């Protein structure tokens, strides 16, 4: 609650003092941005933000994203001041091991932090995902007089965020979709690490965003009343039809209050120094001690009572909603809590049995599409899309309604045309997942995972349920040539911690991979073929073991060697097995659709699948070196460690020696030795 007896300047200076003290004690950090953005924070967090410190996961809270995550002491100060579970001791532990106040805000560590921000531009992408989720959920669940989904998404962003290319991708789409409950406050201080930005960033930001379809407002970033008025103008704007998001350009001075370093890059990424902190306190009129906030200031900042009241208003609407629409309410709670339907396993098992019965020869991208269609029936939260490759990725299903802008600003749908925006798609999907209510997936070619990689890494870091669909997974895509042919990409994704990568070999493995991705509390990547792959019959043990990531697909008694394969190359291994049988050499085949899942199995199981005393040979149309983890230095790998060529797929596999004959010869030579 606003206390007229406490000047706004003292509220802002509480942020500045905590920032200076924490950065100085840690001898590390970025004091300039929080000091320069303090008035922006007062205008938003003290006057406008709808949130409840005692319930940071309240469904209808406003979402706040600090995209310029190096300014982390800003949000930590706000969380402490407004009454979240962040203490003054946590502030003192800034940037220390296992503290609640790490160097950049991290989701799941600090209560009230909505997303992990650090790589500039990612946070604003997440914010677009938040706003998109709110818009779609409101269309799906709100009823007249029962607006249970009705909140804003606010983001603070700096010059660096707007320089990053991903900002164009996500802001362009946000304007096109008219996400008018997205409000971005831009800290325009004109400084980055290298100094004054004019020589390398001279965009007319206002015209840029107007071209996107945004409302643009410009204010003095140190005038709290002006910022407050702009925020309320943005909220009023959102109530009109056919309006877009709002950008509020806040002209600020970085490091404001520090006599020697304000307005310069020196304020950006280093402590001010003990003497400069003393001088800054004098200049700002801060009379309290280190890591102290006067009681009247702390009381004025505290949002617990007001936040509880804000939620109580919603609780009343929610209680009435549950009485009038009990089924919708139960569905909303299920989806926001991330729970699968109770009958999911039963329905999916029926589908899997049909897949096995049909025995179709299909490209795994087509197998994936068939599975998506079934998932869309049983999971209303499934929200798909593609980065302008829908007809190639096959990430759409029959009767899927596209998300479009329109009267009322956005029309409800379950398929998003992201356009040629791979990086933006990955960042937006992270925001969708973080918001709750939807299970996002999006597709592009595997080689273009390079574009979206940082977003993929962030979903892994935050343990978000996001499904990345990557098709055209090898030289098997053929004539498009080396620019589109993946070589190192499968392993570059497998190396990301907490990302579960699947490269299935047929319809059955594709369905199992999708089931694993949907059930998992974390991100998954499905690597799928362009070319058709034959159905492979399996016994019951094999079927159960697919979900373990690696299993014996074709067993023999006393094998002379083990052939390990994944994806389209499983068929090469099977052909090699038959040829070796004709030579009197018995080998078994291990299909390994997911190395990361296999690696998590018990040592006993892994030893059963890959016994130590049997020579091993791996085949995959990609980088060879990582496979030696499984075959050992005495084994061999058939693969490709150069870029591809433009030619039909079969010609390429022969040209690069990724053939059953090559595999056969390696086994025979090994046995002779």
Neighbours of 272 (CB within 10 A): 26
* E-strand stretches of 11-119: 63-66
Burial state string for 601-630 with b = 16 or more CB within 10 A and e = fewer than 16: beeeebeebbeeeebbbbbbbbbbebbeeb
| Residue-by-residue DSSP string for 286-345 | --S-TT---HHHHHHH--HHHHHHHHHHHHHHHHHHHHH-HHHHHHHHHHHTTPPPTTHH
Q: For residue 411, give the DSSP letter.
A: B
CA 150 remoteness from chain centre: 23
First to last CA, the chain: 82
Using DSSP, state whether 590 is helix, strand or coil: strand
d(CA 634, CA 579): 22
Q: Which of 428, 482, 491, 427 is nearest to 454 (CA)?
A: 427
The residues, any chain, with a CB within 8 Å of residue 509's CB and separated by 6 or more, are 364, 502, 546, 591, 593
Catalytic center residues: 422
d(CA 35, CA 43): 14
- Give the CA count within 13 Å in the CB-facing half-sphere of 532: 6
Rg of the chain over Cα atoms, rounded to whole angstroms, equals: 28
Q: Tokens standing for 311?
A: 């939620």
Beta strand pairing call for 182-188 and 153-158? parallel
d(CA 408, CA 246): 16
> Where is the binding site, in residues?
30, 70, 118-120, 159-160, 189, 191, 268, 365, 392, 448, 472, 480, 484, 530
> Where is the binding site for Mg(2+), in residues?
159, 189, 191
d(CA 536, CA 543): 11
Q: CA torsion 79→80→85→88, rounded to 10°?
A: 150
């Amino acid at each position: 609650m606003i206390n007229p007896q406490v000047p706004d300047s003292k509220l802002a200076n509480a942020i500045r003092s905590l920032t200076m003290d924490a950065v100085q004690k840690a001898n590390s950090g970025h004091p300039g941005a929080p000091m320069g953005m303090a008035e922006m924070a007062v205008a938003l967090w003290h006057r406008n933000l709808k949130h409840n410190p005692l319930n940071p996961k309240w469904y209808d809270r406003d979402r706040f994203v600090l995209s310029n995550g190096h300014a982390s002491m800003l949000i930590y100060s706000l969380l402490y001041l407004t009454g979240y579970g962040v203490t003054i001791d946590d502030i003192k532990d800034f940037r220390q091991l296992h503290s609640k106040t790490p160097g950049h805000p991290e989701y799941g560590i600090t209560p009230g932090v909505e997303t992990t921000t650090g790589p500039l531009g990612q946070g604003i992408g997440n914010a677009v995902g938040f706003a998109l989720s709110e818009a779609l959920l409101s269309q799906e669940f709100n009823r007249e007089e029962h607006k249970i989904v009705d909140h804003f998404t606010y983001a603070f962003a700096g010059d660096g965020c707007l320089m990053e290319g991903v900002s164009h991708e996500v802001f362009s789409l946000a304007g096109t979709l008219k996400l008018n409950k997205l409000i971005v406050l831009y800290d325009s201080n004109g400084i980055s690490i290298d100094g004054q930005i004019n020589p390398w960033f001279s965009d007319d930001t206002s015209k840029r965003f107007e071209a996107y379809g945004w409302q643009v407002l410009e204010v003095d970033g140190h005038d709290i009343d002006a910022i407050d008025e702009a925020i309320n103008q943005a909220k009023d704007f959102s109530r009109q039809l056919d309006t877009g998001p709002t950008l509020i350009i806040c002209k600020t001075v970085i490091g404001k209050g520090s006599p020697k370093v304000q307005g310069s890059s020196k304020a950006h990424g280093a402590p001010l120094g003990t003497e400069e902190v003393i001088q800054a306190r004098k200049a700002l009129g801060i009379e309290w001690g280190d890591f102290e906030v006067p009681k009247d200031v702390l009381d004025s900042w505290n949002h617990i009572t007001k936040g509880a009241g804000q939620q109580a208003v919603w609780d009343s609407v929610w209680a009435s909603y549950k009485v009038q629409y009990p089924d919708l309410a139960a569905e909303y709670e299920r989806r926001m809590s991330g729970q699968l339907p109770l009958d999911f396993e039963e329905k999916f098992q029926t589908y899997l049995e049909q897949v096995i019965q049909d025995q179709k020869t299909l490209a795994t991208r087509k197998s994936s599409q068939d599975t998506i269609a079934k998932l869309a029936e049983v999971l209303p939260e499934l929200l798909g899309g593609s980065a302008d490759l829908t007809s190639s990725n096959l990430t759409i299903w029959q009767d899927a309604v596209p998300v479009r802008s329109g009267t009322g600003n956005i029309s409800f749908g379950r398929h998003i045309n992201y356009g040629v925006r791979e990086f933006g798609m990955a960042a937006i999907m992270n925001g969708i997942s973080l918001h709750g209510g939807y299970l996002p997936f999006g597709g592009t070619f595997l080689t273009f995972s390079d574009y979206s990689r940082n977003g993929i890494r962030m979903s892994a870091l935050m343990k978000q349920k996001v499904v990345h669909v990557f098709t055209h997974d090898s030289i098997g895509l053929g004539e498009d040539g080396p620019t589109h042919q993946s070589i190192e990409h499968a392993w570059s994704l497998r190396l990301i911690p907490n990302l579960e990568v699947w490269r299935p070999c047929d319809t059955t493995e594709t369905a199992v991979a999708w089931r694993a991705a949907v059930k998992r509390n974390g991100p998954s990547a499905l690597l799928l073929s362009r070319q058709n792959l034959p159905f492979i019959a399996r016994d019951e043990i094999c079927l159960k073991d697919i979900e373990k990531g690696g299993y014996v697909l074709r067993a023999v008694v006393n094998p002379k060697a083990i052939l390990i394969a994944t994806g389209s190359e499983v068929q090469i291994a099977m052909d090699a097995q038959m040829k070796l049988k004709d030579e009197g050499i018995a080998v078994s085949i291990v299909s390994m659709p997911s190395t990361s899942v296999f690696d998590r199995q018990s040592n006993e199981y892994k030893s059963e699948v890959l016994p130590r005393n049997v020579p091993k040979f791996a085949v995959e149309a990609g980088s060879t070196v990582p496979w030696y983890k499984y075959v050992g230095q005495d084994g061999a790998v058939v693969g490709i460690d150069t870029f591809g060529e433009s030619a039909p797929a079969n010609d390429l596999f022969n040209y690069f020696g990724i053939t059953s004959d090559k595999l056969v010869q390696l086994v025979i030579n090994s046995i002779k030795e």
